Chains A and B, each alone.
Chain A
Amino acid sequence: MNRAASGDQAGTSWLDRLEEMLYSDRLNPVFSRELRRMVKSRTFAITFQLVLLLCWLSYLALVLNTSTGSWYMEQGLTFCSYLFVILALSSCLVIPVVLFALAAEERQESTLEMVVTAGITPEQILSGLLSIGMLQALLYASAILPFIAISYVMQGVDLLALLLTFGLTLFGSLASSVMGMTLGACVRGPTTRAILGGLNVLGSFILFILTASCAQFMLYQFDDLPSIMAGGVCVLAFLAPILAILLGLAINHLRMTDPMIKPYRVLLDENGDVKKFIPRYQNSGYQSALTEEEVIREITNR
């Protein structure tokens, strides 16, 4: 393949120009890295094909189930609700598992150390992973979109309801992505990976059920717009702080050092041996100077 750095004829072929556009300079490095990996990843390709297959199957079921005549109103809505279940399945169940693996890999394979020394912040890692998750959700959604269009043509589905349900599913995907990423960032070894991985699958499943049933409710009960709005606001108010806390937790877990810890200064005697340890940035150093034993006791406690 012709990569960005292959020198000579770079920038001449349209493929190169496309790639240059796709992998622009302003891109988050983690995002561009994951985008390149995603393109080659088998998980993504298989999930994408599965989504398409499921859509086709439900379309087939719809056509076969329909005797002549009036299949419009009712069937269109049923088909549409199936499609959103498929979308929720791929974006609330598959994506968090993928993001969990990516975040966990970073520490387990000790690539995180190199990433951190290269000056990448935990925030950049998380936003990179999150955007790759959202991109995947959008790609799955785009696979479903033609079928949604068919269901819309059949009528019985409101355009605003469709848009809101889309938004809802994407939000469900975002929430489960944040959860998967955070749990992945907390992984330290095989044991924590197994426990947190199990937790992640469980959590994603719950979020999938929640998202899918909310989507059904939205599609079928769309007449009651005010109560849907009120419900949405409540859910947002409830989930937003949780997501913020999870993100904070993930950031902390991706840090190599604690910025609050300040090393001691060393007070040496005439022979160059350590006489006392003095806490940093403390002017009255002499009063609070510690012995080695006291330092060890203190750092064992913190």
Chain B
Amino acid sequence: MNDSDSTVDQHLDLNTSEPEGEQAAVATATAPERKPVLEIRNLHRFFGKLKAVNNVSFTAYPGQVMGFIGPNGAGKTTTMRIIATLDLPTAGDVFVCGHSVVDDPEKVRSKLGFMPDSFGKYSNMDVVEYLDFFARAYGFQGQERKDAIERVLIFTELRKLADKPINSLSKGMSQRLGLGRTLIHDPQVLILDEPAAGLDPRARVELRELIHLLATELDKTVLISSHILTELGEICDSAAIIEAGKILIHGSIEDLKRHRPRKKDQETGLQALAVSVLSRSNDLRLWLLEQPYVSSVAPAAHRIVFEFSGDEGEKASLLKKMIGQGFEVTEFAGKSETLEDAFMSITEGIVQ
């Protein structure tokens, strides 16, 4: 092969020993002892002139729950469909447990469970019959098939509804069934496209627990797309943010929360601070507005968030003055970044 050092070979198998350079470095940095089970390499998907997926690369490891976050039309579903062998990339490749989606789609399918964002339900069919069909499709026979179905029914707690027609299930229950269906062949990798969409808070918490169980107990790798960022913060341990077909950032949730891409923050030394008081928060707000280095004071019940441009000494004297004014301060801290903040600042300004 004529690969130079700057070429990323798209169809090398993990078994063959090819030079991997950059990829290998990323792998060892995140989890040195484990092989990635999901590896996306320079994935491109163009629809005519539209670059729905544009050079996306990331990896996921066993036991990892990875969020795939992006606004509408970012390319999440397109990427997931390629991973699930339902579409072919324009360029690049995806490896699931070392098998390429381009060269070995059958092997990929046996290692992977895909739950589309919306899936139809057959009429005249029970929950058990539905699962039985997919168990047969995956080649389970006899007792093995019954066991697989039973395992899924127990895991998703659908045992009681086993004889119910599937199109009479509630949204939450059919999402459960959908998740159960992806689990029937005990795949290593799960691709869930917006599984929490349209669920009530309770169903969402239950789904979250199921996914958590899958990752921690069964060591599955889960890639889960969603718009609900706060939800993802609790389910996922890492995330990739995609916008207009490009990965903007990819890393652990903690890293993402700390991420501050706004250059002006570093340049101007602006810092978000939060102060909580027992009472008189309105007075405090007005008082803060008169202080030097303080700007954009945001009101809240007992917690006030403001931006501060002074140095550490000036911060200390501000607190001293505040207490001197008789405010009963219970908390004075740097405002912790939420995932939502990170998302907003990362995706800022890019409109598809």
Contacts and interface: CB of A to CB of B under 8 A. Distances in A.
Decide if A and B are genuine partners. yes
Interface of A: 1, 3-7, 10, 23, 25, 27, 29, 32-33, 36-37, 40-41, 105, 108-111, 113-120, 256-258, 261-270, 272-275, 277, 280, 283, 285-286, 295-296, 299-300
Given A5-B128, A6-B128, A300-B48, 14 more contacts: A10-B146, A25-B141, A32-B132, A110-B120, A113-B114, A119-B139, A120-B137, A262-B102, A263-B10, A263-B102, A266-B42, A273-B55, A286-B2, A300-B49
A6 to B, nearest CB: 7
Contacts of A117: 84-86, 109, 112-114
Which of B87, B134, B138 counts the most chain A CB atoms within 10 A? B134
B55 to A, nearest CB: 6
B121 A4 contact: no
A110 B84 CA distance: 14
B92 A263 contact: yes
Interface in B1-37: 1-2, 6-11, 22
B91 interface: yes
Given A114-B116, A115-B137, A36 B85 contact: no
B153 A5 contact: yes
B14 to A, nearest CB: 17
B137 A118 contact: yes
Nearest to A109: B120
B118 interface: yes
Contacts of A10: 146
A36 B92 contact: no
Contacts of A283: 1-2
B122 to A, nearest CB: 7
B88 A257 contact: yes
B266 interface: no
Nearest to A283: B2
B136 interface: yes
Contact of B119 (A4, A33, A110): A110
Contact of B55 (A32, A108, A258, A274): A274
Given A113-B119, A118-B137, A263 B88 contact: yes
Q: How many residues of B sit at the interface, in one of the four size bands?
A: 35 or more
A168 to B, nearest CB: 32
Nearest to A286: B2
A105 B122 CA distance: 9
8 contacts: A4-B132, A25-B142, A33-B125, A40-B124, A113-B84, A119-B106, A264-B91, A265-B8
B54 to A, nearest CB: 9
Contact of A296 (B46, B89, B113): B46
A270 B46 contact: no
A36 B123 CA distance: 11
Interface in B128-152: 128-129, 131-134, 136-139, 141-142, 145-146, 149-150
Contacts of B123: 37
Given A5-B149, A257-B87, A261-B88, A266 B8 contact: yes
A295 B192 CA distance: 30
B162 interface: yes
Contact of B42 (A6, A25, A33, A268): A268
Interface in B231-254: none
Given A29-B136, A283-B2, A296 B10 contact: no
Instruction: Label chain A's interface by main secondary structure.
Output: loop
B119 A111 contact: yes
A266 B153 contact: no
A161 B266 CA distance: 94
Nearest to B88: A257
A284 B122 CA distance: 50
Contact of B86 (A25, A116, A266, A275): A116
Given A29-B133, A36-B125, A263 B93 contact: yes
B44 interface: yes
Nearest to B185: A118
Ordered nearest first, which 9 A-B pairs have the shortest CB separation? A109-B120, A29-B136, A264-B91, A118-B137, A5-B149, A265-B10, A40-B124, A266-B42, A25-B141
Nearest to B100: A263
B76 interface: no
Contacts of A118: 109, 134, 137-138, 185
A3 B126 contact: yes
Contact of B109 (A5, A119, A264): A119
A277 B91 CA distance: 7
B340 interface: no
Nearest to B102: A263
Contact of B137 (A110, A119, A269): A119
Contacts of A268: 6-8, 42
A139 to B, nearest CB: 17
B212 interface: no
Contact of A266 (B48, B92, B106, B150): B92
B90 A264 contact: yes
B331 interface: no
Contacts of A113: 81, 84, 86, 114, 116, 119
Which of A41, A270, A296 counts the most chain B CB atoms within 10 A? A296
A296 B136 contact: no
A117 B191 CA distance: 12
A251 B55 CA distance: 32
A37 B124 contact: yes
Contact of B88 (A4, A32, A258, A286): A258
A265 B91 contact: yes
Contacts of B105: 257
A114 B119 contact: yes
